[in-house]
Structure 1
Amino acid sequence: MISTKNGRRRGFAVSAATALLILTGCAAEAPPQDTGSSSSAAPSSVASPEASPSPAPSPSASAEPSAAASPAPSPELPAVLEASKPASFNIPTIGAESELLHLGLRDNGSLEVPPDGPGAPASWYDQSPTSGERGPSVLLGHVNATGGGPGVFADLRALQPGDEINVVREDGTTAVFAVDRGEQYQKDNFPTLEVYGNTEAAELRLITCDGYNPDTGEFDDNYVVYATLVP
């Protein structure tokens, strides 16, 4: 969690330890320690045209002071909501809804996840921004229940761009998000920073299991829905 001076959180690219998200047999990395972003190394040398001799300055030429460059205006950041913890969510197009638990990290650095079983609720990862604050607010839910049957996030794959996700907050307001896209990721190749890294807008991530492997009885992948706060 990265806190600003006024206490509002803007994403969370770092965590105390690397964590694993365990949802009915699948795993996804939570934010690791920030090691700094790597960039491609520039070439050691760049070919340049041969230098031509500069003409001698004319005695009659008078140097004029160059105009000072004006700083480029900084773009305004998207509007966001004040901090307020999420209490429940609903997704009308797929009929998904539940109260939201507030869960964090276990002592071993793994993510706490919602209880498994029929009717189990989703949870908000409490080291992420509250839903509607600047940054990615993360909700976790099971794709199925113990002993069979659908979990609260069973139908995330049916969501289409533009579908609305409503998160009711403890202050009585509702943060409305529009789905941008959904992505399936192998648990061994989970794009941690893309999912958990800082964003300029208030965004939402819904994370569940995917890629069921009948040979092992485990889920090999995660499915992530990306959504952005509706202005």
Structure 2
Amino acid sequence: MRHPKPWDSLLRFIQTWKFAAVSFSVCIYSVVWYWWIVSVITFIPSAYVQYSPQIQGLLFLGLILGTLFSEIFCSGRLSDWLMVKMAKRNGGQRMPEMRLWLVYPAVTVSAIGLIIWGISIDQQYHWIVGQIAFFLLAAGIQMGNTIIAAYIVDCYPLQSMAVITFYAVILNLSAFVNPFFIAPWVTASGYTWTFAAQGIITFVVSLPAFAVLQRFGPTLRAKSGQPGWVNPEYDSII
């Protein structure tokens, strides 16, 4: 096995921007959809200031249960099942874009969760309403997470390490940036309008963006060409 140079990871991260199917899908998910979860986590102590820190910790259960539910029932297994069913209809030919059909319900569920949570805090609804909102938000985001990860690996299976590294870096950068603007936003607009706006942005931007990707993904991959490297385990074979 020929080991990559120490600087290859950085170079390949930069080069991955060229492959639009990867960079477009990852950026839309990270910046338009995923990073709102950081907004919610940041404001849990402020939104539930009437509760002790111990109780506030328990209020993360909605997010945990939503993530677990999505991971078990609505993520990889469901995505693979959909891929197999649609491939049969397509003469046995699999296309990465077939996975993206699950994005639409996932985006919708996340947007609903955001809107409900913002309203529940301003209107001082019972805490269970916020937990239901957390469940919906986390379930949608986790479903989207596994769909995007599977999609970019399907696009470039021989470069799976590089595309997942690219995904992880962009995702964490988005999480780092979010707290810098969410506090002034909530202060200026309040919980209802801040989180309703986030839900609307998620729905209005993500759905058309992924529809475009689903329609033109094969064209983007054809124009981008193939990366000039493969995973180390494939290097001796290629």
TM range (shorter): under 0.3
Instruction: Answer 1 or 2: higher relative contact order, Cα 8 Å, separation at least 6.
Output: 2
**TM-score for the superposition, normalised by structure 1:** 0.21
Q: Answer 1 or 2: which has greater strand percent.
A: 1
Q: Answer 1 or 2: which has greater helix percent.
A: 2
